[in-house]
Structure 1
Amino acid sequence: MAGSSKDYHDPPPTPLVDAGELGKWSLYRATIAEFTATLLFVCITVTTVIGHKRQSAEACAGAGVLGIAWAFGGIIFVLVYCTAGISGGHINPAVTFAMLLARRVSLPRAALYMIAQCLGAMCGAGLARALHGGRQYARHGGGANELVEGYSAGAGFAAEMVGTFVLVYTVLSATDPKRKARDSHVPVLAPLPIGLAVLVVHLATIPITGTGINPARSLGPAVVYNGSKAWKEQWMFWVGPFAGAGAAILYHQYILRGAAAKAFASSYLAHFAS
């Protein structure tokens, strides 16, 4: 009996729809946290991008690609650390989508998070525009994601999908309930690998798409900047990240966590038992 017992049991999946959740202040507090975190994320990062372009145009060195990547990764580390205990620190509709597929959040919570993230991104881009001034903001592209000249749409889609896969795979691994139950230091360290994942993905994909891997981050500047190219290619920064998030959850759940093997074993035993 003792040999068959498990030292860990996965928590039950979150109900897809929990009507009681809608009456709890904690849901709306978490939604406000997602709005605020995404606002700060987009404001800081877009301001960094435009500041780099302004300095480069004025014969100054600017932050450079490495500096921009550090700005994105660093602010994600800070904001995930600050909001993880309140909302989970998603700050990205693709991450929220993955958590919904993993049944860690309900459908109403996921919907509220995504709306808050998109609104926060728009407000953050608007604040970045106010800081730099409308003229300089427009002159330097508004921090909007666009496919870099010389790359195909397929390459841009692949970059967004692979980049988001790396991010969501890291999020799922860093916040795995099994690891959190066995290693007490995991919840404290989780924001660090997530921030580093954002950093390295930016280094790899800035030359291709400017790096979205976050549909809200791409939507906010597109709305405020309102450039035709940014709108024409907006699909890439939604379909790619959601596809990457879906692939990451399948890989994590069915390969790393062994859900496929467990399901096969269960069906195999049930077949012979019958």
Structure 2
Amino acid sequence: MEGKEEDVRLGANMFSERQPIGTAAQSQEEKDYTEPPSAPLFEPGELTSWSFYRAGIAAFVATFLFLYISVLTVMGVVKEPTKCQTVGIQGIAWAFGGMIFVLVYCTAGICGGHINPAVTFGLFLARKVSLTRAVFYMVMQCLGAICGAGVVKGFIGKSRYSALGGGANVVNPGYTKGSGLGAEIVGTFVLVYTVFSATDAKRRARDSHVPILAPLPIGFAVFLVHLATTPITGTGINPARSLGAAIIFNKDKAWDDHWIFWVGPFVGALLAALYHQVIIRAIPFKSK
């Protein structure tokens, strides 16, 4: 028993809470973690690697499944005259957040579990993935989203699918385009900031005595954002999800505000990457 108490005491004090400030923080040489090297901008060798294409296939399948489950849930809610007869907005939020949790858990070791061009873009800005891999992931994510939405349309039927809105993201009545854009920026910021925090090397080292499952906070971030912004835009925060539904629905209503669901998420991802790298980690100010 005494030995166990000693282990707990050592574990709790292994990483001091007293952090150096000012120039001392920037010149600290000893680290209790290893910072992963930055990904190259372009890596031609990836194009001849099976793991590269394997990761792309995993990204395609994951986004396909994501759209299939999430859009079917949206269709089930929209078709009822009152949401009280269905899972409602909370059910939609759980479907999106739950699927992200499951799919990130399943694919994190293969393709990083991005399932979202905005997340891929944010990680590219932070030099976590190469430009080659980032572009390939985005293309496969969009293709998977289109196929997923297409299968939903096949199940529901063309006329009924169109009548129910196809699960396409639009700025809902009562809100301005500026409100929709702002909701997409802030919502994506929350998601990408959570991704950075959940996968940060320093956090994993400092919290090594506390088991953390990274997909869980990421899934919850998606769930919470959907609760907040579904009434405004239906919650995009994922350009592939918005594109897949818009292409299969293919009505003017889906395309009028479609730019919001690309500009908003990419701006949100940019801000989250800057905030994490510059403010949270202060990486540009650390000595090499």
Partner residue, 2:36 = 11
- TM-score of the superposition, structure 2-length normalised? 0.86
Q: Which residue of 1 aligns with 2:144?
A: 120
Match of 1:165 among 175, 186, 189: 189
Displacement of 1:59: 8.4
Kindly indicate whether residue 77 of structure 2 is the aligned counterpart of residue 52 of structure 1.
yes
- Which residue matches 1:270? none
2:115 maps to 1:91 = yes
State the 1:181 CA deviation. 3.6
Q: Counterpart of 2:201 in structure 1: which amino acid?
A: P
2:64 aligns to what? 39
Conserved in 2, the CA contact under 8 Å of 1:43 and 1:125? yes
Alignment deviations for residues 154-209 of structure 1 (CA, whole Å, 9 cap, x no partner): 00000000000000000000011222344447786100000000000000000100
Equivalent residues of 2:32, 2:205 under 8 A apart: no
The alpha carbon displacement at 1:4 in A equals 4.7
CA offsets, 1:104-139, max 9 Å, x none?
111110011000000000000001111111121111
> What is the RMSD of the two structures over their aligned residues, measured on CA atoms?
1.8
* Equivalent residue, structure 1, for 2:24: none
CA separation of 1:197 and 1:59: change in aligned 2, threshold 3 A: closer
Please state if 1:238 is matched with 2:282.
Answer: no
Asked if 2 retains the 8 angstrom alpha-carbon contact of 1:31 and 1:112, the reply is yes
Q: 2:49 aligns with which of 13, 19, 24?
A: 24
The match for 1:259 is 283
Work out the number of aligned pairs and report it. 261
Matched letter for residue 67 of structure 1: G
State the Cα deviation string for residues 134-153 of structure 1 (Å, max 9, x = none): 12111100000000011111
| 1:134 aligned to which of 158, 174, 178 | 158
Is residue 70–residue 199 contact of structure 1 (8 Å, CA) maintained in 2?
yes
- In structure 1, how many angstroms separate the alpha carbons of the residues matched to 2:147 and 2:210? 33
Tell me by how many angstroms 1:8 deviates.
Answer: 2.7
Q: Cα distance, 1:57 vs. partner?
A: 2.9
Residues 237 and 113 (structure 1 numbering): CA distance in 2 closer, same or farther, change over 3 Å?
A: same
Q: Is the 8 A contact 2:118 2:239 kept in 1?
A: yes
| Residues 8 and 178 in structure 1, CA contact (< 8 A), matched pair in contact too | yes
Contact 1:174 1:186 in 2 (8 A): no
Give me the identity figure in percent: 62
Q: Which amino acid aligns with 1:151?
A: Y
Q: Which amino acid counterpart does residue 43 of structure 1 have in structure 2? A: Y
Q: CA deviation at 1:17?
A: 0.7
5+ residue gaps, structure 1: 267-274
Instruction: Tell me which residue corresponds to 1:74.
Output: 98
Out of 252-261 and 156-165, give the one that drifted further: 252-261
**SS of match in other structure, 1:85:** helix
Structure number with higher helix proportion: 1
